[in-house]
Structure formats: C-alpha cells, structure tokens
Amino acid sequence: MRNLVLSLAVAALAACATPPSAPSQLIAEVPGASSGDIGDWLASPQRDVRDHALDMIRAEPGAYLPTTFAWVALELQQRGESAEAAKWGEFGRQRLLLDIALMMPNANEDQRAFLETLPERYADALGNDFLPAYRALPAAQLLANFEEVQGLQVTATRRYPPNWAFDAGYANATNWLAVPSEWSVEDVGRLNALYVENLPAFQSALQAVIAAQAAQ
C-alpha cells in the first residue's frame, strides 16, 4: 500500500506495510477522511476499498487537497473510465493551479520553490496513459467535462486551509471535512478573482486540444 504524503521537502509515494482496512472497518465515527487516507485506499488491492474512496471523493470533493485528484484520475483510468478520469484529473489540475497562485504572494523562497514543483508532480501522478486518453476523448465529452468541472469549482467549497502546501504533511493527514478550515473574506475574494483571471487560460487549453483533434 502506498502512503501518499506531501511535505515541503518532497511530494512522493511511500510504501506502507499495513494493508488497507476492509470497507466494514472504514466506517468512521466522523464524516470524511484525510487526503492521505484516500490515497492509501486507492492503492488497495481490494476493489471495494477503492470504491469506498471514490464514493467519499464524489460526495465531498472540496474536503480533499488538489493532489488527491491525480490518484482518483489514475484509478478511474485504470478502470477504463476515461471520461470520468479526465473530469477529475482536470478538476484537480485547475484547483491546484489556483491554489498555487493564491499561495505564491505569501510564500518564502523555499515555499515558492516547492510550489513550483507541484504541477509537474501532479502530471506525473496521473500516469502515462492519462494524457493520450484525455486527448482521444470526443470534443463533445471534453466540453461537457469542462462545464462540469467549472460547476465543481463553484460548488465544491474548499474545506482545507488556503496555505495548505506550507505544511503539506499536516494538510495531507487531516480530515478537513470533520474539522474544516475557516477562510478569511480576503482570501475568498482573492481566490474568486484568480478564478476569473485564469478561466480564459483553462478555456484556451481545452480549445487547443479540440483544435488538435480537428487537425488530424
């Protein structure tokens, strides 16, 4: 089982000797789970454990760090669910980029260096099959996914703190649905402004994929 823990020094997959719990043992006294728990469960050899992790993600996507969605997309891609994999992978990518932009102004030199590594690490965690499968999806599916992702960006309120990557190990190990972080009015306003600012770039990236399909 892998234990997926981000830290300021490294964001990598680590092996863990204890096997994942069976679904009957996953019923918690509090709602939700940590992002690290989700990663561990998605690495389980037991299909029902992985199903449980996906159900939790779909129920409360705002409670989990953006990096979690690379693991979700990988699991869905391995199941042959390319459209769902693309949707959740893109949701996590956009949310990660927005979070990085939000944190950068307040980051010190080491923190900025760490933040700059996250997009590439996210892409690596998606696996080698993700991008070809994403590009092979019909344009109509890509457009439908994009609209759904934008809906999630609005409705999936972030439960984790705005500066989560500054103490990423703690953020990854915390159940933010059970103990949601409070965002200041200023941080919410900055995040909303960043979303409006970056939406055209997200749209352009999608149109580039569709244009490449049409040119083939």
Which pLDDT score, from 0 to 100, does residue 216 have?
A: 85
Full domain range(s) for residue 171: 2-215
pLDDT in tens, 90-140: 999 999 999 999 999 999 999 999 999 999 999 999 999 999 999 999 999
Which pLDDT score, from 0 to 100, does residue 5 have?
A: 34
Which pLDDT score, from 0 to 100, does residue 131 have?
A: 94
68-78 vs 35-42: helix crossing angle, rounded to 10: 20
Cα torsion 81, 149, 176, 97: sign: positive
- What's the average model confidence in pLDDT over 159-174? 98
Which pLDDT score, from 0 to 100, does residue 40 have?
A: 97
Query: What is the spatial distance between Cα 52 and Cα 62, in angstroms, rounded to a whole number?
Result: 17
pLDDT in tens, 185-207: 999 999 999 999 999 999 999 99
The domain total for the chain is 1
3-state secondary structure 61-124: HHHCCCCHHHHHHHHHHHCCCHHHHHHHHHHHHHHHHHHHHHHHHHCCHHHHHHHHHHHHHHHH
